[in-house]
């Protein structure tokens, strides 16, 4: 695409973003339908499959970027994507209404556990960035392996707590909604009701294919656009590219909040963020060397920003600020300020 004029290149990027949005939304619905029919989330393999389906845009971008040796872009999209996708909760907070903040309505500690898992795996990302290439196990960083193991153990624990919690939360005024998408909504029909399982599977595969192809086009056109604009690959991957791949999460998050599933809205974001950094193992295997030691100071800064934003919302769920200011809870306002400071710091580090 290097031969295309920049307006056409921008159109390709925009088309890729729209395709990611539409296909990602369709993928989420077909995934929910298949999960309802087969109970995928009850099995470990099913939970892994659901996590992979939810991060297909990031998988496509990571693989494409690594194959082109754009390691900074790949790492920036994975690590910076955590910060951007956490910012989706601001949109969900606005959708929750003027009367109560999103974190006030959650009324469950399950999203807090999911937020802690995000903080834990991102901490391993930071530690992995400090390791030398010489300590790699074959082509793979020990940190990449540790991230996958910690994530796997984390989802097992969270799934067990969700099924049989050993504590009871009393949160007056909360509206957490359904504990899981497999629980039928009292008013909203289950996605693809009346559609045969075979057809739903075909929808799922078609959405997967479109999402993967759109992700590749996003990476290639985005990399060229960043180069022509003189934008650092890490910064572009962590902002514009991460925002494009977060569009499906915006749709599903707003939809969950409008249905009253406030806990699911937050849990989906934290769950996707926790799995996202597991893709460093895929990047290592494709590149034939450890990617985390090549992440650099900018990605370390982004990792800390992601931890900070996640921590604010985890505290918000426990503290439960009720009052809204311009449809935003106090925690969301703090997150906006923290994100702005974080991006300003990222630019400063780059220069």
Domain for residue 188, yes or no?
Answer: no
pLDDT average, residue stretch 200-205: 93
Q: Residue 292: pLDDT above 70?
A: yes
Evaluate whether residue 1 is within a structural domain.
Answer: no
Q: What is the pLDDT of residue 35?
A: 85
Q: What is the pLDDT of residue 184?
A: 79
pTM: 0.92
**Mean pLDDT score across all residues of the chain:** 89
| pLDDT band, very low/low/confident/very high, at 44 (cuts 50, 70, 90) | low
Q: Are 59 and 286 in contact (CB under 8 A)?
A: no
Domain contains 189: no
The tally of domains found in the chain comes to 1
Domain encompassing residue 120: 6-183+194-350
- Give the mean pLDDT of 253-275: 92
pLDDT digits (tens, 9 = 90+) for 45-88: 667 777 888 888 889 989 998 998 988 888 888 998 899 999 99
pLDDT at 330 over 90: yes
DSSP state of 189: P
pLDDT band at 103 (very low <50, low <70, confident <90, very high): very high
CA atoms within 13 A on the CB side of 43: 8
Torsion angles phi and psi, residue 325, rounded to 5: -125, 110
- Does residue 118 lie within any of the structural domains? yes
* 69 burial via Cβ count (<10 Å: 0-12, 13-18, 19+): exposed
**What is the pLDDT at residue 1?**
63
Could you report the per-residue pLDDT of 297-326, keeping only the tens digit for each? 888 899 999 999 999 999 999 999 989 999
Give the pLDDT band of residue 2 (cuts 50, 70, 90). low
């Amino acid at each position: 695409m290097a031969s295309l004029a920049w307006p056409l290149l921008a159109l390709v990027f925009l088309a890729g973003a729209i395709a990611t949005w539409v296909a990602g939304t369709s993928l989420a619905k077909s995934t929910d339908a298949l999960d309802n029919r087969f109970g995928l989330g009850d099995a470990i393999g099913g939970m892994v499959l659901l996590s992979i389906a939810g991060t297909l845009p990031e998988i496509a971008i990571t693989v494409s970027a690594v194959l082109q040796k754009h390691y900074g872009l790949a790492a920036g999209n994975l690590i910076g994507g955590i910060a951007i996708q956490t910012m989706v909760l601001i949109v969900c907070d606005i959708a929750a209404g003027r009367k109560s903040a999103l974190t006030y309505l959650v009324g469950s500690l399950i999203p807090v556990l999911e937020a802690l898992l995000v903080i834990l795996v991102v901490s391993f990302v930071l530690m992995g960035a400090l390791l030398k290439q010489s300590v790699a196990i074959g082509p793979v960083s020990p940190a990449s392996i540790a991230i996958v193991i910690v994530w796997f153990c984390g989802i097992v624990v969270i799934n067990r707590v969700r099924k049989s919690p050993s504590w009871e939360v009393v949160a007056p005024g909360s509206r957490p909604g359904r504990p899981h998408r497999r629980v039928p909504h009292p008013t909203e029909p289950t996605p693809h009701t009346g559609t045969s399982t075979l057809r739903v599977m075909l929808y799922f595969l078609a959405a997967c294919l479109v999402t993967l192809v759109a992700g590749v086009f996003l990476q290639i056109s985005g990399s060229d656009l960043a180069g022509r604009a003189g934008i650092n690959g890490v910064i572009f991957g962590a902002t514009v590219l991460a925002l494009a791949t977060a569009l499906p999460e915006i749709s599903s998050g707003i939809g969950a909040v409008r249905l009253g599933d406030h806990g699911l809205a937050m849990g989906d974001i934290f769950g996707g963020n926790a799995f996202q950094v597991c893709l460093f193992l895929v990047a290592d295997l494709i590149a034939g060397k450890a990617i985390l030691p090549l992440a650099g100071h900018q990605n370390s800064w982004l990792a800390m920003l992601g931890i900070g934003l996640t921590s604010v919302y985890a505290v918000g769920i426990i503290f439960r600020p009720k009052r809204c200011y311009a449809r935003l809870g106090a925690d969301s306002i703090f997150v906006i300020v923290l994100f702005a400071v974080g991006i300003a710091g990222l630019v400063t580090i780059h220069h």
